[in-house]
């Protein structure tokens, strides 16, 4: 149930980005597209394969695939950036425990994403990137507005808290003790790892990250693996409406 709310609020964020860029689409239509993307994320390599499905479906309203893809990329960026910000909240806890290596990883990710956003116009001037980034850069001028950017960041952090709460509830249901601040670093790094294009839906990568970080907290490998599997299955079941919307769309044609 917690993850269902996360989908609903994620859809609101995506609609904010679309409306700010003058894309007229209802929240219900966008939700169907988002859910289809979530389902295909579960069967494509990496946790972002479904983003191309989202862009393909959104093309009906934007008329251009590149514009659709850039809107999806911005939505994905704010989700990832919010995770990096959230991970900073867990740093004091891990510093206290003396686990500086995981703190360094969190800082590097945050600084890299910050650098990417601030210097995006400079990067777009590189010849081999120029033709791919024109639509992204067009939307950048709108999104970087101080008020809108702040709204998206705060709202995106709120959305990612649903993942934290979901995993915390898994800990409680299994009777495994964990200090809540540790989740602010564990959950973001686990989810970010799922985005790497080296596995299907992040399976294996997420488990490895959780086993490593929870091992630092003296939680056994079997318990860490079980927590990760339950979370992975939860993500799969939450995505099932997506295949229904996909089939309905295909039948409508």
Whether the pLDDT of residue 253 is over 60: the answer is no
Torsion of CA 29, 158, 106, 48, to 10 degrees: -10
Whether the pLDDT of residue 53 is over 80: the answer is yes
pLDDT at 132: 58
Region 229-241: mean pLDDT is: 94
Interior angle at CA 229, CA 2 and CA 176, nearest 5: 75
Whether the pLDDT of residue 80 is over 80: the answer is yes
Whether the pLDDT of residue 165 is over 70: the answer is yes
Region 22-42: mean pLDDT is: 92
The rounded distance, in Å, linking the Cα atoms of 111 and 81 is 10
Question: How remote is the C-alpha of 202 from its chain's centroid?
Answer: 12
Residues 38/239, Cβ–Cβ less than 8 Å = yes
Across 73-109, b (16+ Cβ under 10 Å) vs e yields bbbbbbbbbbbbbbbbbbbebbeeeebeebbebbeeb
Share of the chain above pLDDT 70, in %: 92
All structural domains of the chain with their residue ranges: 2-252
The rounded distance, in Å, linking the Cα atoms of 121 and 184 is 31
pLDDT at 158: 96
Residues 68/62, Cβ–Cβ less than 8 Å = yes
pLDDT at 138: 73
Whether the pLDDT of residue 251 is over 80: the answer is no
* Nearest to 72, CA basis, from 14, 20, 25: 14
The rounded distance, in Å, linking the Cα atoms of 154 and 102 is 24
| Range with lowest mean pLDDT among 68-77, 101-110, 148-157, 198-207 | 198-207
pLDDT tens digits, one per residue of 108-143: 999 999 998 888 776 666 655 555 566 777 777 778
pLDDT at 211: 96
Residues 86/157, Cβ–Cβ less than 8 Å = yes
Residues 65/45, Cβ–Cβ less than 8 Å = no
Torsion of CA 27, 3, 48, 93, to 10 degrees: 130
Q: Which residues pair with 46 in a beta bridge?
A: 200
Region 91-114: mean pLDDT is: 94
pLDDT at 125: 64
Interior angle at CA 200, CA 196 and CA 201, nearest 5: 75
CB neighbours (10 Å) of residue 209? 22
pLDDT at 89: 95
* Average pLDDT value over all residues in the chain: 89
* Nearest to 183, CA basis, from 99, 90, 104: 90
pLDDT at 252: 58
Whether the pLDDT of residue 150 is over 80: the answer is yes
Region 98-113: mean pLDDT is: 94
pLDDT tens digits, one per residue of 140-149: 777 877 788 8
**Residues in the chain, how many?**
253
Residues 23/71, Cβ–Cβ less than 8 Å = yes
């Amino acid at each position: 149930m917690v993850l269902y709310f996360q989908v609903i609020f994620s859809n609101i964020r995506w609609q904010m980005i679309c409306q700010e860029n003058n894309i007229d689409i209802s929240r219900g239509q966008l939700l169907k597209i988002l859910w289809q993307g979530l389902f295909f994320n579960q069967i494509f390599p990496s946790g972002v394969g479904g983003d191309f499905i989202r862009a393909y479906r959104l093309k009906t309203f934007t008329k251009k695939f590149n514009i659709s893809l850039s809107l999806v990329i911005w939505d994905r960026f704010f989700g990832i950036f919010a995770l990096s910000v959230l991970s900073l909240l867990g740093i004091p806890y891990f510093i206290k425990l003396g686990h500086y290596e995981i703190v360094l990883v969190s800082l590097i990710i945050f600084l890299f994403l910050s650098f990417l956003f601030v210097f995006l116009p400079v990067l777009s001037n590189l010849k081999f990137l120029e033709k791919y980034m024109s639509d992204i850069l067009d939307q950048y001028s709108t999104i970087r507005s101080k008020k809108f950017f702040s709204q998206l960041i705060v709202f995106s952090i709120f959305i990612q808290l649903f993942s934290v709460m979901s995993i915390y509830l898994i800990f409680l249901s299994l009777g495994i003790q964990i200090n809540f601040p540790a989740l602010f670093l564990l959950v973001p790094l686990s989810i970010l790892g799922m985005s790497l294009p080296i596995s299907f839906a992040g399976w294996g990568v997420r488990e490895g990250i959780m086993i490593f970080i929870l091992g630092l907290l003296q939680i056994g490998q079997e318990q860490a693996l079980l927590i990760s599997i339950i979370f992975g299955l939860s993500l799969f079941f939450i995505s099932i409406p997506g295949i229904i919307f996909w089939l309905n769309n295909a039948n409508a044609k």
